[in-house]
Each structure stands twice: as structure tokens, then as C-alpha cells.
Amino acid sequence: MRTILEPERYREAVEESEKKFRHLAGLMPVGVYSTNEKGYLTFYNDRAAELWGRHPRLNDPTELRYCGALRLYNPDGTLLPRSECFMARTITEKKSFRNKELIFEGTNGILREVMVNIDPVFNDEGRFTGSITVFHDITRSRQAEDDLRRLASIIDSSQDAIISRSLDGTITSWNVGAEQIFGFEKNEILGESIATITPSIYEDEELSLIGKICRGESVDSLDTIRLDKNGNQIHVTLTFSPIKDSRNRVVGISMIARDNRDQMQIRRQLQVYNEQLKQLSQQKSQFIGMASHELKTPLTVIRGHLEWMALESQTNGHLHNNASVNKALIHIEKLSDLVSNLLDVSKVDQGMLNLNPSTYRLSDILLESIDSVRSTEATHEILLETDCDGLEVFVDKQRIEQAVINLLLNAIKYSPDADQVLVRCATDGKNAIVSVKDYGIGIPPDQVDKIFVRFFRVEGLAPTFSGLGVGLYITKEIINRHKGSIWVESTEGEGSTFYVKIPLDR
């Protein structure tokens, strides 16, 4: 039954309810506004003004009609003429519209995606008096949806399997990569247990990792085995990370599986090649060893004959013959040094460079080495500075002499414009330290590290510097076998100093 109110009471009641409506609209987190029957704004709340970015004037025929936004666009970004928007159509067609999407542009140029609901308003007599529109900002949720879509397409374009699972092991997501690696389609595996692809012997391993992740500990990736749909074993690298909810609680685990089958095959192939290479290298060393050994015997015989001839020519006064024979002897000496070096390389390669150590005075070894070099090389003066008179070392004398002679011959060979080599000997109490310094061509800094490598020779060496690139390789091995060390300090164009450190402790 309708209650008829006094006109005065009726006006008060209308004013009261309008006040309540405005209050209510002011509290609402959505934009609310009304228009008159011509579409001019008659009311809007703060949220509406905020979303439009402006405060339009009310009941003003010079203001924009149907909506406070400066411009309107369709969801696809095309401009929407104001007279065609849903709010205008409500005025012309007197129709409601529900959940329509639009884009509003405010004075500040900010675009907002909004969802609008519009109703026409009729008075008690049924006459059309305007419209009411409620709208809310969906920009963020649209962006979140876009981000999600982008993420999903990244996940699906990955060749790795990206899988998520709940803490009880139920598979909750499965990308295209997972379908390709494991052979299960998404709809076959979602909701199944992760045990479907985990061989039982690896279940504990996975459980312990999951435990660590839940405790917030970091977990390294894991090379392991999983099963495909046909039960075949697949070599995979697994990387785990926690999935957390908005309250930072771990609610699941995401797992990235990289298929290592190709890599494993390449690794196996590489192993085979390595093995073959090792065998070839061994054969080469054996060959060098054998060839040098074979060459040594005829060389020794030739040297013997030459020495006999030299003696005979001296005795018979054939000085010319004597000089030739001596020259031949020098070259035979060089040849047998080369052969000895090659023989040593093959011994080093095969781990057969044996030592025969005993106690010697270091200065004796150095003096003998220097004398031996002086006898053949007259171009340089070799100076010896020693702080270790009487210092004894437990070494293979022949081998240490060989090492020192190598360094001295190099110092002379690689300093053609100098005339001095300086040998120093000192001790730090625990080691004997011998250095050989020259004033020669030096070594380029980018190649210093390589000079102890077998057959290495500095790039761009003048052809006058003959050699096989094995002297330092053998020298380093000799020093290493004595538990010592060898290194070089060098400046290109100024010279080099080689240091040898040998422990005094037997």
C-alpha cells in the first residue's frame, strides 16, 4: 500500500534520500554519475572525477555530454565518437547496457580501461529523466591478464620442460616443452603425481631437494634421470624453485627440466675422440722415443770415428783436415743434443723421466753448467753472483745441469745484441733460488704463459732463432720432478729472467 505524504514531507523525504544517495556514492570505490534527459551531467562522485582526471561542470550545456572523460575509445584503441557511446545510446534508445568496455582519456592524457554499466532513469509517471552510469577501472587487471598471456607464451615457446607441482607432488602445470620431452599431453598428466616421471630410485633425491626448498635453502641444479611416457630413461638437468603465495608461503614447486640426451651423446662422442687422441699422442711419443733412440747409435759411432780422425790428423800434422773434422764434430754434437731432447720429450710424455738424486753443492752444479756453455758459446760473458756458497741440494745433478744449461743457451740465443748473461743464486732458507737473466728480445706478455708448453715457440720469431720448442718443456718437467717451480719475468725488447726454485728439504 502506497503512503501519500504531505507535499512538504514528500519534499523533505526526497531531499533526505538524495543526500543519502550522494553520501553513498561518495563512499563507493567505483565511478558513479548521472545525466539529465539531454545527457548533461547532473552529479558525479569523487572516484568518477579521479578516473576522468577532471571535474566537469554540472548542468552546463557548454560542457561535454554523456561522460566526463575528454575522449572515448573502443577497446581496440580506435576513437569512439561521443554521440555513439553506450551512455549516449542510453539517452537516445532509453536502454540499459551491462559490462561494456571502453577507454577513457582524461585531461592529463592518461588512458584508463573501464567497464561501464548504464541504466536509463524514469520518474514515477514513467517519463524518461536521464541516466545513471557506474564504471570501474580495469586497466590493472587487463595489464595483469596481458602479462599472464605473455608469460604463458614464453613458457610455451621454451624448449625446456617447465612444470609446476603442489607440495604433495600433484602436477599443476605442464608446458609444450614438457610434452615434447616427456611425451605426455597436458590433459593426460595434469592432476597426476610427479612420481609418474620420477624413477623410484630417484624419489628420495627429489624429496630431499623439495624439503630444502621449503625450508628456504638454495638448491643447485641437478643432473639426473627421469622417465618419458614409454618408460624410457631421459638424462635431464633439473632446476627447482619455490612457488609462493601472496603471504610468502611456499605452496608449490616449479621445475625446469633440460633434455640432456644430445649433450650426453656429444659427451660420449667426445670421450671416444679423447681416447683416440690419447692413443695417437702415445703412439707419437713412442715413435719419437724410438726414432731418437735409433738415431743415437749411428750418431755415437760417427762421433767416435770423427774423434779418432781428429786425433790422427793432429798427430800427422794435417791441420786442414783437423779443422774440418772439428767442425763436423760440433755439428754432430748439436745433432745429438737435438736427438737427446726429443728422447727426453718422449720420456716426459710417457712419465718415464726418472731421477737419480744425491747431495751436491749447488755452486758446483752452476759452475759446471756455466763451464760447459762457455766451452761452446763465446759470444757472451756469463757472470755468477752467489749468496749460497756451500749450500747443498739433493738433486739429480745431470738433470739440474741440463735445466740450467737449457736456460743459459736460451739466454744467449735470444739476446743476439747483448754480451752478458747474469746467473744468481740465493736461498730463502727453505729453497734454493737460481735465476738466469738476459738482456735480449724478451717475451710478448700474451705468450709468457705458453712458453713451457711442448713444441711452443713465440709467434713471429725471426728464422735465425732455431729450435724445436722443447727445451723449456723438459726443463719445467725436470724442476717439477724435484718438487720445485720455474717461472719467468720478461719485458719485450729488454730481456727475460727465468727463476728456478728447488726445495732444500729432501
Tell whether residue 402 is a contact of ligand ADP (CB under 6 A): no
* Of 120 and 442, CB closest to ligand ADP: 442
Binding range to ligand ADP, per CB under 6 A, among 12-20, 113-121, 344-352, 434-442: 434-442
* Closest alpha carbon to 432 in 381, 492, 389: 389
Nearest-5° angle of CA 413, CA 404, CA 503?
Answer: 145
Tell whether residue 71 is a contact of ligand ADP (CB under 6 A): no
Q: Which of residues 86-145 bind ligand ADP (CB under 6 A)?
A: none
Q: How far apart are alpha carbons 164 and 213 in whole angstroms?
A: 14
Phi-psi region of 483 (alpha: psi -120 to 50; beta: other; left: phi over 0): left
**Residues 56, 169, 289, 440: which binds ligand ADP (CB under 6 A)?**
440
Binding range to ligand ADP, per CB under 6 A, among 72-80, 183-191, 357-365, 410-418: 410-418
**Residues 257, 382, 472, 500: which binds ligand ADP (CB under 6 A)?**
472
Q: Which residues pair with 97 in a beta bridge?
A: 118
Tell whether residue 457 is a contact of ligand ADP (CB under 6 A): yes
Residue nearest to ligand ADP (CB): 467
* Of 116 and 408, CB closest to ligand ADP: 408
CB 434 within 8 Å of CB 499: yes
Least distance to ligand ADP from the beta carbon of 425, Å? 18
**Residues 68, 289, 471, 484: which binds ligand ADP (CB under 6 A)?**
471
Pairing mode of beta strands 420-427, 381-386 = parallel
Tell whether residue 443 is a contact of ligand ADP (CB under 6 A): yes
Least distance to ligand ADP from the beta carbon of 492, Å? 9
* Closest alpha carbon to 41 in 67, 13, 17, 10: 67
* Of 353 and 441, CB closest to ligand ADP: 441
**Residues 161, 411, 478, 500: which binds ligand ADP (CB under 6 A)?**
411
Tell whether residue 469 is a contact of ligand ADP (CB under 6 A): yes
The half-sphere exposure of 26 on its side-chain side, counting CA atoms within 13 A, is 6
Q: How far apart are alpha carbons 32 and 103 in whole angstroms?
A: 16
Cell output for 281: 699422442
Task: Quote the crossing angle between the two packed helices 397-413 and 471-481, to the nearest 10°.
Answer: 150
Least distance to ligand ADP from the beta carbon of 392, Å? 28
Tell whether residue 468 is a contact of ligand ADP (CB under 6 A): yes
CA 389 vs CA 385, 392, 393, 435, 497: distances in Å? 10, 9, 12, 15, 22
Q: How many residues bind ligand ADP (CB under 6 A)?
A: 21
Binding range to ligand ADP, per CB under 6 A, among 19-27, 115-123, 258-266, 467-475: 467-475
Q: Which residues contact 319 (CB under 8 A, 6 or more apart)?
A: 313
Least distance to ligand ADP from the beta carbon of 424, Å? 15
Tell whether residue 478 is a contact of ligand ADP (CB under 6 A): no
**Residues 461, 487, 491, 494: which binds ligand ADP (CB under 6 A)?**
461
**Residues 33, 40, 135, 414: which binds ligand ADP (CB under 6 A)?**
414
* Of 441 and 478, CB closest to ligand ADP: 441
Cell output for 176: 609444450
Residue 5 DSSP one-character state: P
Q: Which residues pair with 63 in a beta bridge?
A: none
Cell output for 144: 595483469
Tell whether residue 344 is a contact of ligand ADP (CB under 6 A): no
* Of 234 and 451, CB closest to ligand ADP: 451
Q: How far apart are alpha carbons 427 and 478 in whole angstroms?
A: 19
Cell output for 496: 727475460
Q: Which of residues 191-250 bind ligand ADP (CB under 6 A)?
A: none
The half-sphere exposure of 353 on its side-chain side, counting CA atoms within 13 A, is 25
Least distance to ligand ADP from the beta carbon of 387, Å? 23
Binding range to ligand ADP, per CB under 6 A, among 149-157, 251-259, 373-381, 465-473: 465-473
CA 332 vs CA 50, 304, 320, 321, 439: distances in Å? 101, 10, 19, 16, 29
Which residues of this chain interact with ligand ADP, rule CB under 6 A? Answer: 410-411, 414, 438, 440-443, 451, 456-458, 461, 467-473, 496
